[in-house]
Protein backbone atom coordinates (compact mmCIF):
# COMPACT_ATOMS: atom_id res chain seq x y z
CA UNK A 1 0.00 0.00 0.00
CA UNK A 2 1.31 3.43 -0.91
CA UNK A 3 1.42 5.47 2.24
CA UNK A 4 1.06 8.77 0.45
CA UNK A 5 -2.51 8.15 -0.70
CA UNK A 6 -5.02 7.38 2.05
CA UNK A 7 -7.75 4.76 1.72
CA UNK A 8 -10.33 7.47 1.62
CA UNK A 9 -9.72 11.00 0.41
CA UNK A 10 -12.06 13.40 2.17
CA UNK A 11 -12.04 17.05 1.19
CA UNK A 12 -12.02 19.67 3.92
CA UNK A 13 -15.21 21.73 4.14
CA UNK A 14 -13.27 24.63 2.66
CA UNK A 15 -12.31 22.53 -0.38
CA UNK A 16 -15.88 21.57 -1.24
CA UNK A 17 -17.40 22.94 -4.47
CA UNK A 18 -19.34 26.19 -4.06
CA UNK A 19 -20.89 26.14 -7.56
CA UNK A 20 -22.27 23.52 -9.93
CA UNK A 21 -20.57 23.15 -13.30
CA UNK A 22 -22.77 23.53 -16.37
CA UNK A 23 -21.15 21.37 -19.03
CA UNK A 24 -23.49 22.75 -21.72
CA UNK A 25 -21.58 26.03 -21.54
CA UNK A 26 -18.53 24.30 -23.01
CA UNK A 27 -20.37 22.20 -25.60
CA UNK A 28 -20.02 23.47 -29.16
CA UNK A 29 -23.03 21.41 -30.22
CA UNK A 30 -25.62 22.03 -27.50
CA UNK A 31 -28.08 19.34 -26.49
CA UNK A 32 -31.33 19.69 -28.44
CA UNK A 33 -34.11 21.56 -26.62
CA UNK A 34 -37.26 19.99 -25.17
CA UNK A 35 -40.05 20.18 -27.72
CA UNK A 36 -43.74 20.85 -27.18
CA UNK A 37 -45.40 17.84 -28.85
CA UNK A 38 -48.37 20.02 -29.84
CA UNK A 39 -46.58 22.94 -31.49
CA UNK A 40 -43.35 21.08 -32.31
CA UNK A 41 -41.56 24.21 -31.08
CA UNK A 42 -38.97 24.36 -28.26
CA UNK A 43 -40.64 24.52 -24.86
CA UNK A 44 -40.60 28.05 -23.45
CA UNK A 45 -40.05 28.95 -19.81
CA UNK A 46 -43.74 29.90 -19.65
CA UNK A 47 -44.85 26.51 -20.91
CA UNK A 48 -42.54 24.70 -18.49
CA UNK A 49 -43.84 26.79 -15.57
CA UNK A 50 -46.97 24.66 -15.44
CA UNK A 51 -44.82 21.76 -14.30
CA UNK A 52 -41.53 22.99 -12.83
CA UNK A 53 -40.34 25.67 -10.38
CA UNK A 54 -39.10 28.90 -11.90
CA UNK A 55 -35.45 28.71 -10.87
CA UNK A 56 -35.22 25.11 -11.99
CA UNK A 57 -36.61 26.10 -15.39
CA UNK A 58 -33.92 28.76 -15.64
CA UNK A 59 -31.30 26.11 -14.93
CA UNK A 60 -32.94 23.72 -17.39
CA UNK A 61 -32.72 26.24 -20.21
CA UNK A 62 -29.36 27.86 -19.40
CA UNK A 63 -26.72 26.48 -21.75
CA UNK A 64 -24.22 29.33 -21.43
CA UNK A 65 -23.40 30.03 -17.76
CA UNK A 66 -20.35 27.96 -16.86
CA UNK A 67 -20.71 27.87 -13.07
CA UNK A 68 -23.97 28.29 -11.16
CA UNK A 69 -23.47 29.13 -7.47
CA UNK A 70 -24.89 26.61 -4.99
CA UNK A 71 -27.18 28.50 -2.57
CA UNK A 72 -25.93 28.70 1.03
CA UNK A 73 -28.86 26.63 2.32
CA UNK A 74 -28.03 23.77 -0.04
CA UNK A 75 -24.34 23.98 0.87
CA UNK A 76 -25.43 23.67 4.50
CA UNK A 77 -27.43 20.54 3.74
CA UNK A 78 -24.61 19.08 1.65
CA UNK A 79 -22.39 19.38 4.72
CA UNK A 80 -24.62 16.86 6.49
CA UNK A 81 -23.45 14.05 4.22
CA UNK A 82 -20.82 15.51 1.92
CA UNK A 83 -18.04 15.50 0.97
CA UNK A 84 -18.44 11.86 0.00
CA UNK A 85 -15.22 9.86 0.13
CA UNK A 86 -13.08 9.05 -2.88
CA UNK A 87 -11.86 5.60 -1.92
CA UNK A 88 -8.74 3.89 -3.18
CA UNK A 89 -9.75 0.26 -3.72
CA UNK A 90 -6.51 -1.18 -2.36
CA UNK A 91 -8.20 -4.45 -1.35
CA UNK A 92 -9.84 -4.97 -4.72
CA UNK A 93 -6.57 -4.21 -6.52
CA UNK A 94 -4.79 -6.78 -4.38
CA UNK A 95 -7.50 -9.37 -4.95
CA UNK A 96 -7.34 -8.83 -8.72
CA UNK A 97 -3.53 -8.71 -8.66
CA UNK A 98 -3.74 -5.78 -11.03
CA UNK A 99 -1.18 -3.02 -11.52
CA UNK A 100 -4.16 -0.69 -12.16
CA UNK A 101 -4.99 1.90 -9.52
CA UNK A 102 -8.70 1.86 -8.81
CA UNK A 103 -10.65 4.65 -7.10
CA UNK A 104 -14.37 4.92 -6.47
CA UNK A 105 -16.44 7.89 -5.48
CA UNK A 106 -18.90 6.51 -2.94
CA UNK A 107 -22.25 8.29 -2.81
CA UNK A 108 -24.08 5.78 -0.60
CA UNK A 109 -23.20 7.22 2.82
CA UNK A 110 -26.51 8.92 3.46
CA UNK A 111 -29.85 7.47 4.49
CA UNK A 112 -31.33 7.68 1.00
CA UNK A 113 -28.45 5.40 0.11
CA UNK A 114 -27.51 7.04 -3.17
CA UNK A 115 -26.38 10.15 -5.02
CA UNK A 116 -30.02 11.13 -5.66
CA UNK A 117 -30.00 13.35 -2.58
CA UNK A 118 -27.70 15.86 -4.32
CA UNK A 119 -30.47 16.93 -6.67
CA UNK A 120 -33.39 16.20 -4.32
CA UNK A 121 -32.30 18.85 -1.85
CA UNK A 122 -31.71 21.37 -4.63
CA UNK A 123 -35.11 20.82 -6.21
CA UNK A 124 -36.88 20.86 -2.83
CA UNK A 125 -35.03 24.04 -1.89
CA UNK A 126 -36.17 25.92 -5.00
CA UNK A 127 -39.73 24.68 -4.48
CA UNK A 128 -39.68 25.95 -0.91
CA UNK A 129 -38.15 29.25 -2.00
CA UNK A 130 -40.98 29.72 -4.50
CA UNK A 131 -43.42 29.38 -1.60
CA UNK A 132 -44.84 26.05 -2.68
CA UNK A 133 -46.61 23.64 -0.36
CA UNK A 134 -45.17 20.50 -1.82
CA UNK A 135 -43.92 18.48 -4.74
CA UNK A 136 -44.97 15.37 -6.64
CA UNK A 137 -42.68 12.82 -8.19
CA UNK A 138 -42.35 9.23 -9.31
CA UNK A 139 -39.94 6.59 -8.12
CA UNK A 140 -38.99 3.22 -9.50
CA UNK A 141 -36.63 1.24 -7.30
CA UNK A 142 -37.14 3.94 -4.68
CA UNK A 143 -33.79 5.70 -4.39
CA UNK A 144 -35.09 8.96 -5.80
CA UNK A 145 -38.32 8.87 -3.77
CA UNK A 146 -36.36 8.25 -0.59
CA UNK A 147 -33.96 11.08 -1.32
CA UNK A 148 -36.77 13.49 -2.09
CA UNK A 149 -38.67 12.47 1.06
CA UNK A 150 -35.58 13.21 3.15
CA UNK A 151 -35.09 16.60 1.52
CA UNK A 152 -38.76 17.53 1.93
CA UNK A 153 -38.79 16.44 5.58
CA UNK A 154 -35.80 18.68 6.18
CA UNK A 155 -37.48 21.69 4.56
CA UNK A 156 -41.02 21.03 5.79
CA UNK A 157 -42.48 20.43 2.30
CA UNK A 158 -45.21 17.93 1.52
CA UNK A 159 -43.99 15.10 -0.69
CA UNK A 160 -46.22 12.85 -2.83
CA UNK A 161 -44.55 9.92 -4.48
CA UNK A 162 -45.98 7.68 -7.21
CA UNK A 163 -44.10 4.44 -6.84
CA UNK A 164 -44.08 1.84 -9.62
CA UNK A 165 -46.49 -0.79 -8.30
CA UNK A 166 -44.14 -3.75 -8.61
CA UNK A 167 -41.58 -1.93 -6.44
CA UNK A 168 -44.25 -0.73 -4.00
CA UNK A 169 -45.19 -4.34 -3.39
CA UNK A 170 -41.76 -5.95 -3.59
CA UNK A 171 -39.93 -3.22 -1.69
CA UNK A 172 -42.19 -2.44 1.28
CA UNK A 173 -39.17 -1.31 3.27
CA UNK A 174 -38.29 1.43 0.78
CA UNK A 175 -41.90 2.57 1.04
CA UNK A 176 -41.67 2.66 4.83
CA UNK A 177 -38.48 4.71 4.77
CA UNK A 178 -40.32 7.31 2.67
CA UNK A 179 -43.28 7.22 5.06
CA UNK A 180 -40.91 7.60 8.00
CA UNK A 181 -39.76 10.80 6.34
CA UNK A 182 -43.39 11.87 6.13
CA UNK A 183 -44.07 11.27 2.41
CA UNK A 184 -47.33 9.97 0.93
CA UNK A 185 -46.60 6.96 -1.27
CA UNK A 186 -49.11 5.76 -3.88
CA UNK A 187 -48.64 2.62 -5.98
CA UNK A 188 -48.72 3.42 -9.71
CA UNK A 189 -50.81 3.05 -11.80
CA UNK A 190 -53.45 4.21 -9.33
CA UNK A 191 -57.09 5.24 -9.33
CA UNK A 192 -56.06 8.73 -8.16
CA UNK A 193 -55.33 10.09 -11.66
CA UNK A 194 -57.04 10.00 -15.04
CA UNK A 195 -54.01 8.54 -16.76
CA UNK A 196 -53.73 5.93 -14.01
CA UNK A 197 -57.37 4.91 -14.43
CA UNK A 198 -56.92 4.79 -18.20
CA UNK A 199 -53.85 2.56 -17.97
CA UNK A 200 -55.55 0.30 -15.42
CA UNK A 201 -58.57 -0.03 -17.70
CA UNK A 202 -56.39 -0.88 -20.70
CA UNK A 203 -53.98 -3.14 -18.84
CA UNK A 204 -55.74 -4.61 -15.81
CA UNK A 205 -53.23 -6.20 -13.45
CA UNK A 206 -50.28 -4.19 -14.81
CA UNK A 207 -47.43 -3.78 -12.35
CA UNK A 208 -46.61 -0.32 -13.68
CA UNK A 209 -43.58 1.36 -15.20
CA UNK A 210 -41.50 4.45 -14.59
CA UNK A 211 -42.96 6.16 -17.66
CA UNK A 212 -46.45 5.62 -16.31
CA UNK A 213 -45.58 6.86 -12.80
CA UNK A 214 -44.10 10.02 -14.34
CA UNK A 215 -47.39 10.69 -16.14
CA UNK A 216 -49.35 10.26 -12.91
CA UNK A 217 -47.04 12.51 -10.88
CA UNK A 218 -47.25 15.26 -13.52
CA UNK A 219 -51.05 15.01 -13.65
CA UNK A 220 -51.27 15.12 -9.85
CA UNK A 221 -49.09 18.22 -9.72
CA UNK A 222 -51.20 20.03 -12.29
CA UNK A 223 -54.38 19.39 -10.29
CA UNK A 224 -52.94 20.38 -6.91
CA UNK A 225 -52.67 23.98 -5.82
CA UNK A 226 -49.17 25.01 -4.68
CA UNK A 227 -47.38 21.93 -5.97
CA UNK A 228 -44.80 21.39 -8.70
CA UNK A 229 -43.38 18.26 -10.25
CA UNK A 230 -39.77 17.19 -9.74
CA UNK A 231 -37.74 14.51 -11.51
CA UNK A 232 -34.69 12.60 -10.34
CA UNK A 233 -32.77 12.09 -13.58
CA UNK A 234 -32.60 12.79 -17.32
CA UNK A 235 -33.14 16.58 -17.09
CA UNK A 236 -30.35 19.12 -17.57
CA UNK A 237 -31.02 20.62 -14.11
CA UNK A 238 -30.51 17.23 -12.47
CA UNK A 239 -27.18 16.67 -14.19
CA UNK A 240 -26.18 20.17 -13.13
CA UNK A 241 -26.84 19.44 -9.43
CA UNK A 242 -25.09 16.10 -9.68
CA UNK A 243 -21.87 17.73 -10.88
CA UNK A 244 -21.05 18.10 -7.19
CA UNK A 245 -19.96 14.45 -7.49
CA UNK A 246 -17.52 15.09 -10.32
CA UNK A 247 -16.24 18.37 -8.89
CA UNK A 248 -15.44 16.72 -5.56
CA UNK A 249 -13.84 13.79 -7.36
CA UNK A 250 -11.66 16.11 -9.40
CA UNK A 251 -10.68 18.18 -6.35
CA UNK A 252 -9.74 15.03 -4.44
CA UNK A 253 -7.68 13.68 -7.34
CA UNK A 254 -5.98 17.04 -7.89
CA UNK A 255 -5.12 17.22 -4.19
CA UNK A 256 -2.94 14.14 -4.64
CA UNK A 257 -1.84 14.88 -8.23
CA UNK A 258 -3.68 11.89 -9.59
CA UNK A 259 -4.58 11.93 -13.26
CA UNK A 260 -7.21 9.31 -14.13
CA UNK A 261 -7.00 7.48 -17.44
CA UNK A 262 -10.52 6.18 -17.38
CA UNK A 263 -13.78 7.23 -15.72
CA UNK A 264 -16.61 4.74 -15.52
CA UNK A 265 -20.22 5.26 -14.47
CA UNK A 266 -23.49 3.37 -14.68
CA UNK A 267 -26.18 4.94 -16.81
CA UNK A 268 -29.95 4.75 -16.38
CA UNK A 269 -31.32 8.23 -17.00
CA UNK A 270 -27.79 9.59 -16.67
CA UNK A 271 -27.87 11.57 -13.42
CA UNK A 272 -24.92 9.90 -11.75
CA UNK A 273 -22.86 9.43 -14.88
CA UNK A 274 -23.44 13.00 -16.00
CA UNK A 275 -22.61 14.39 -12.59
CA UNK A 276 -19.45 12.35 -12.30
CA UNK A 277 -18.01 12.93 -15.75
CA UNK A 278 -19.11 16.50 -16.57
CA UNK A 279 -16.05 18.28 -15.10
CA UNK A 280 -13.74 15.84 -16.88
CA UNK A 281 -15.57 16.10 -20.20
CA UNK A 282 -15.46 19.87 -19.72
CA UNK A 283 -11.67 19.65 -19.89
CA UNK A 284 -11.96 17.55 -23.04
CA UNK A 285 -14.39 20.05 -24.60
CA UNK A 286 -11.97 22.87 -23.84
CA UNK A 287 -9.07 20.84 -25.23
CA UNK A 288 -7.21 20.82 -21.91
CA UNK A 289 -7.10 17.12 -21.22
CA UNK A 290 -8.21 13.73 -22.44
CA UNK A 291 -9.89 10.84 -20.66
CA UNK A 292 -11.56 7.59 -21.60
CA UNK A 293 -15.16 7.93 -20.41
CA UNK A 294 -17.29 4.77 -20.25
CA UNK A 295 -21.04 4.57 -19.69
CA UNK A 296 -22.26 1.17 -18.52
CA UNK A 297 -25.84 0.03 -19.03
CA UNK A 298 -27.77 -3.23 -18.64
CA UNK A 299 -27.85 -5.48 -21.70
CA UNK A 300 -31.58 -5.76 -21.03
CA UNK A 301 -32.13 -1.98 -21.34
CA UNK A 302 -29.45 -0.83 -23.80
CA UNK A 303 -30.41 2.78 -24.65
CA UNK A 304 -26.89 3.91 -25.60
CA UNK A 305 -25.63 0.77 -27.27
CA UNK A 306 -28.76 -0.21 -29.20
CA UNK A 307 -31.11 2.78 -28.95
CA UNK A 308 -31.97 5.47 -31.52
CA UNK A 309 -30.81 9.07 -31.17
CA UNK A 310 -34.17 10.70 -31.77
CA UNK A 311 -36.91 12.83 -30.26
CA UNK A 312 -39.11 10.72 -28.02
CA UNK A 313 -41.64 10.99 -25.23
CA UNK A 314 -40.26 11.01 -21.68
CA UNK A 315 -43.31 9.28 -20.24
CA UNK A 316 -45.86 6.61 -21.13
CA UNK A 317 -48.87 8.92 -20.84
CA UNK A 318 -47.23 11.36 -23.28
CA UNK A 319 -48.04 14.36 -21.08
CA UNK A 320 -44.38 15.46 -20.95
CA UNK A 321 -42.38 17.28 -23.64
CA UNK A 322 -40.36 15.46 -26.25
CA UNK A 323 -36.64 15.11 -25.65
CA UNK A 324 -33.91 14.27 -28.14
CA UNK A 325 -32.02 11.39 -26.66
CA UNK A 326 -30.84 7.84 -27.10
CA UNK A 327 -34.05 5.92 -26.56
CA UNK A 328 -35.57 2.47 -26.86
CA UNK A 329 -39.06 3.93 -27.33
CA UNK A 330 -41.30 5.20 -24.54
CA UNK A 331 -43.21 1.92 -24.20
CA UNK A 332 -40.08 -0.18 -23.76
CA UNK A 333 -40.10 -2.19 -20.55
CA UNK A 334 -37.13 -4.41 -19.62
CA UNK A 335 -37.91 -8.12 -19.37
CA UNK A 336 -39.49 -9.34 -16.14
CA UNK A 337 -36.33 -11.09 -14.94
CA UNK A 338 -34.35 -7.83 -14.92
CA UNK A 339 -33.35 -6.97 -11.35
CA UNK A 340 -30.56 -4.51 -11.74
CA UNK A 341 -32.24 -1.09 -11.99
CA UNK A 342 -31.33 1.39 -14.77
CA UNK A 343 -34.58 0.54 -16.53
CA UNK A 344 -35.53 3.90 -18.05
CA UNK A 345 -36.18 3.80 -21.79
CA UNK A 346 -34.34 7.05 -22.55
CA UNK A 347 -31.19 8.92 -21.56
CA UNK A 348 -30.16 12.43 -20.58
CA UNK A 349 -30.13 14.73 -23.66
CA UNK A 350 -26.77 16.15 -22.54
CA UNK A 351 -25.13 12.75 -22.34
CA UNK A 352 -26.84 11.65 -25.54
CA UNK A 353 -25.29 14.57 -27.43
CA UNK A 354 -21.85 13.99 -25.88
CA UNK A 355 -22.02 10.31 -26.73
CA UNK A 356 -23.18 11.11 -30.24
CA UNK A 357 -20.22 13.48 -30.61
CA UNK A 358 -17.70 10.87 -29.46
CA UNK A 359 -16.81 12.18 -26.02
CA UNK A 360 -17.70 8.90 -24.36
CA UNK A 361 -18.16 5.24 -25.15
CA UNK A 362 -20.79 2.83 -23.85
CA UNK A 363 -20.85 -0.82 -22.86
CA UNK A 364 -23.72 -3.09 -21.96
CA UNK A 365 -23.35 -5.86 -19.39
CA UNK A 366 -25.53 -8.79 -18.35
CA UNK A 367 -26.96 -8.94 -14.88
CA UNK A 368 -25.45 -12.20 -13.62
CA UNK A 369 -22.03 -10.76 -14.46
CA UNK A 370 -23.05 -7.59 -12.64
CA UNK A 371 -24.05 -9.45 -9.46
CA UNK A 372 -20.84 -11.50 -9.62
CA UNK A 373 -18.89 -8.24 -9.61
CA UNK A 374 -21.11 -6.87 -6.82
CA UNK A 375 -20.47 -9.88 -4.61
CA UNK A 376 -16.74 -9.87 -5.29
CA UNK A 377 -16.59 -6.17 -4.51
CA UNK A 378 -18.66 -6.50 -1.33
CA UNK A 379 -16.44 -9.24 0.03
CA UNK A 380 -13.18 -7.35 -0.38
CA UNK A 381 -14.18 -3.70 -0.14
CA UNK A 382 -16.81 -4.14 2.55
CA UNK A 383 -19.57 -2.11 0.88
CA UNK A 384 -22.72 -3.84 -0.34
CA UNK A 385 -23.28 -2.06 -3.65
CA UNK A 386 -26.58 -1.23 -5.30
CA UNK A 387 -27.21 -3.31 -8.43
CA UNK A 388 -27.15 -0.07 -10.44
CA UNK A 389 -23.68 0.85 -9.17
CA UNK A 390 -22.48 -2.68 -9.77
CA UNK A 391 -22.67 -2.15 -13.52
CA UNK A 392 -19.77 0.27 -13.14
CA UNK A 393 -17.96 -2.14 -10.83
CA UNK A 394 -18.23 -4.86 -13.50
CA UNK A 395 -16.49 -2.78 -16.13
CA UNK A 396 -13.93 -1.41 -13.66
CA UNK A 397 -12.99 -4.98 -12.74
CA UNK A 398 -12.86 -6.01 -16.41
CA UNK A 399 -10.56 -3.11 -17.19
CA UNK A 400 -8.35 -3.84 -14.17
CA UNK A 401 -8.02 -7.44 -15.33
CA UNK A 402 -6.98 -6.22 -18.78
CA UNK A 403 -4.29 -4.15 -17.06
CA UNK A 404 -3.08 -7.28 -15.28
CA UNK A 405 -2.69 -8.91 -18.66
CA UNK A 406 -0.99 -5.97 -20.37
CA UNK A 407 0.92 -4.75 -17.33
CA UNK A 408 -0.44 -1.23 -17.75
CA UNK A 409 -0.72 0.85 -14.56
CA UNK A 410 -3.88 2.65 -15.57
CA UNK A 411 -5.74 4.83 -13.09
CA UNK A 412 -9.42 3.90 -13.08
CA UNK A 413 -12.10 5.98 -11.36
CA UNK A 414 -15.65 4.74 -11.09
CA UNK A 415 -18.84 6.01 -9.52
CA UNK A 416 -20.25 3.88 -6.70
CA UNK A 417 -23.67 5.48 -6.64
CA UNK A 418 -25.24 3.71 -3.71
CA UNK A 419 -25.87 0.77 -1.44
CA UNK A 420 -27.93 -2.36 -2.00
CA UNK A 421 -29.69 -2.71 1.38
CA UNK A 422 -33.09 -2.61 -0.28
CA UNK A 423 -32.14 -4.89 -3.14
CA UNK A 424 -31.76 -8.10 -1.20
CA UNK A 425 -34.53 -9.83 -3.16
CA UNK A 426 -32.27 -9.58 -6.20
CA UNK A 427 -29.21 -10.66 -4.21
CA UNK A 428 -31.20 -13.61 -2.83
CA UNK A 429 -32.03 -14.68 -6.38
CA UNK A 430 -28.35 -14.46 -7.28
CA UNK A 431 -27.26 -16.27 -4.08
CA UNK A 432 -29.67 -19.08 -4.90
CA UNK A 433 -28.39 -19.38 -8.48
CA UNK A 434 -31.82 -18.38 -9.78
CA UNK A 435 -30.81 -15.25 -11.67
CA UNK A 436 -30.88 -15.29 -15.46
CA UNK A 437 -29.97 -12.89 -18.25
CA UNK A 438 -32.03 -11.52 -21.06
CA UNK A 439 -31.04 -9.58 -24.13
CA UNK A 440 -33.91 -8.14 -26.14
CA UNK A 441 -34.01 -9.32 -29.75
CA UNK A 442 -33.73 -6.90 -32.65
CA UNK A 443 -37.39 -7.61 -33.41
CA UNK A 444 -38.46 -6.59 -29.91
CA UNK A 445 -36.49 -3.39 -30.12
CA UNK A 446 -37.88 -2.65 -33.57
CA UNK A 447 -41.42 -3.00 -32.24
CA UNK A 448 -40.63 -0.48 -29.58
CA UNK A 449 -38.88 1.90 -32.03
CA UNK A 450 -42.06 1.84 -34.10
CA UNK A 451 -43.75 3.83 -31.31
CA UNK A 452 -41.30 6.74 -31.63
CA UNK A 453 -43.18 9.96 -32.48
CA UNK A 454 -43.43 10.50 -36.20
CA UNK A 455 -42.27 14.09 -36.17
CA UNK A 456 -39.80 15.71 -38.47
CA UNK A 457 -37.45 17.81 -36.33
In whole angstroms, the minimum distance from the beta carbon of 274 to a copy of itself comes to: 24
**Closest approach of Cβ 227 to a copy of itself, in Å?**
20
**Interface map 52-91 toward a copy of itself (x if CB under 8 A):** ------------------------x--xxx---------x
CB 289 within 8 A of CB 414: no
Q: Among 155, 115, 162, 117, which Cα is nearest to 134's?
A: 155
Query: ω into residue 83 within 30 of 0, thus cis?
Result: yes
Residue 375 in contact with a copy of itself, rule: CB under 8 A: yes
Name every residue whose Cβ is closer than 8 Å to that of residue 158 and which is 6 or more positions away in sequence.
Answer: 133, 134, 135, 152, 184, 227
Question: Which distant-in-sequence residues (6+ apart) come within 8 Å of 202 by Cβ?
Answer: none
Q: Are strands 322-327 and 308-313 parallel, antiparallel or unpaired?
A: antiparallel
**How far apart, in whole angstroms, are the C-alpha atoms of residue 190 and residue 208?**
9
Judged on CB neighbours under 10 Å (0-12, 13-18, 19+), 349 is buried
Minimum separation from the CB atom of position 148 to a copy of itself (A): 13
- Where residue 252 falls (left for φ over 0; alpha for ψ -120 to 50; beta otherwise) is alpha
Closer residue to a copy of itself, CB minimum distance, 287 or 433:
433
- Kindly indicate which of the ranges 50-58, 169-177, 338-346, 433-441 contains the residues binding a copy of itself, using the contact rule CB under 8 A: 169-177
Which of 6, 37, 42, 71 lies at the binding interface for a copy of itself (CB under 8 A)? 6
Burial class (CB in 10 A: 0-12, 13-18, 19+), 206: middle
CA distance 377 to 297: 18
> What's the Cα-to-Cα distance from 388 to each of 115, 164, 430, 431, rounded to whole Å?
12, 17, 15, 17
- Rounded distance, CA 282 to CA 359, Å? 10
**DSSP conformation class of 199:** H
The closest alpha carbon to 385, from 401, 374, 400, belongs to 374
Among 19, 222, 258, 380, binds a copy of itself (CB under 8 A): 380
Residues numbered 9 to 28 that lie near a copy of itself (CB under 8 A) are: 10, 13
Stretch that binds a copy of itself, among 8-16, 20-28, 54-62, 442-450 (CB under 8 A): 8-16
172 in contact with a copy of itself (CB under 8 A): yes
Stretch 87-126 residues interacting with a copy of itself (CB under 8 A): 91, 109-111, 113
Residue 79 or 203: which CB sits closer to a copy of itself?
79
Directed axis angle between helix 143-155 and helix 117-129, to 10°? 40
Which of residues 41, 180, 289, 337 is near a copy of itself by CB under 8 A? 180
Per-residue contact track with a copy of itself, 410 to 429, x per CB under 8 A? ---------x-xx-xx-xx-
User: Is residue 176 involved in binding a copy of itself (CB under 8 A)?
Assistant: yes
- Judged by CB under 8 A, the stretch of 179-187, 297-305, 343-351, 355-363 that binds a copy of itself is 179-187
Which lies closer to a copy of itself via its Cβ, residue 111 or residue 436?
111
* Residue among 166 and 378 whose Cβ is closer to a copy of itself: 378
| Closest CB 13 distance from a copy of itself, rounded Å | 5
Stretch that binds a copy of itself, among 176-184, 271-279, 317-325, 393-401 (CB under 8 A): 176-184
Give the integer Cα–Cα distance in Å for 329 and 440: 13
| CB-nearer residue toward a copy of itself: 151 or 277 | 151
- Contacts of residue 224, defined as CB under 8 A and 6 or more positions apart, other chains included, come to 134, 136, 160
Q: Binding residue for a copy of itself (CB under 8 A) from 39, 49, 66, 179? A: 179
| # residues contacting a copy of itself (CB under 8 A) | 42
- In DSSP notation, 34-82 reads PB-TTT-SBPPHHHHTTTS-HHHHHHHH--S-SEEEPPHHHHHHHHHH-
Shortest distance, CB of residue 316 to a copy of itself, whole angstroms?
29
In the list 130, 379, 406, 457, the residue contacting a copy of itself (rule: CB under 8 A) is: 379
Q: Which stretch binds a copy of itself (CB under 8 A): 148-156, 242-250, 360-368, 406-414?
A: 148-156
Q: Is 381 in the site for a copy of itself (CB under 8 A)?
A: yes
**Alpha-carbon dihedral of residues 216, 304, 281, 84, nearest 10 degrees?**
60
Residues in touch with a copy of itself (CB under 8 A): 1, 6-8, 10, 13, 76, 79-81, 91, 109-111, 113, 150, 153-154, 172-173, 176-177, 179-182, 375, 378-384, 419, 421-422, 424-425, 427-428, 431
Amino acid sequence: MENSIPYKIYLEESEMPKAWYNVRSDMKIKPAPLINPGTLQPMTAEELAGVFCDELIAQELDDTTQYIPIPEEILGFYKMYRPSPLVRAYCLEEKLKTPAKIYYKFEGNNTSGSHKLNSAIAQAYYAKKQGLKGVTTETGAGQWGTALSMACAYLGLDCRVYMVKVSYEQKPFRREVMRTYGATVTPSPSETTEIGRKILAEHPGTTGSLGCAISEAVEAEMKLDGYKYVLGSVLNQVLLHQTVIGLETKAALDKYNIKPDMIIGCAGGGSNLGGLVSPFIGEMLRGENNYQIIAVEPASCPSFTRGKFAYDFCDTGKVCPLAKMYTLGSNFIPSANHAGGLRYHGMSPILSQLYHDGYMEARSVEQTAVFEAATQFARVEGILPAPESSHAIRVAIDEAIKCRETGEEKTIVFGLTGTGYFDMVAYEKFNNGEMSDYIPTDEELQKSFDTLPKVDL
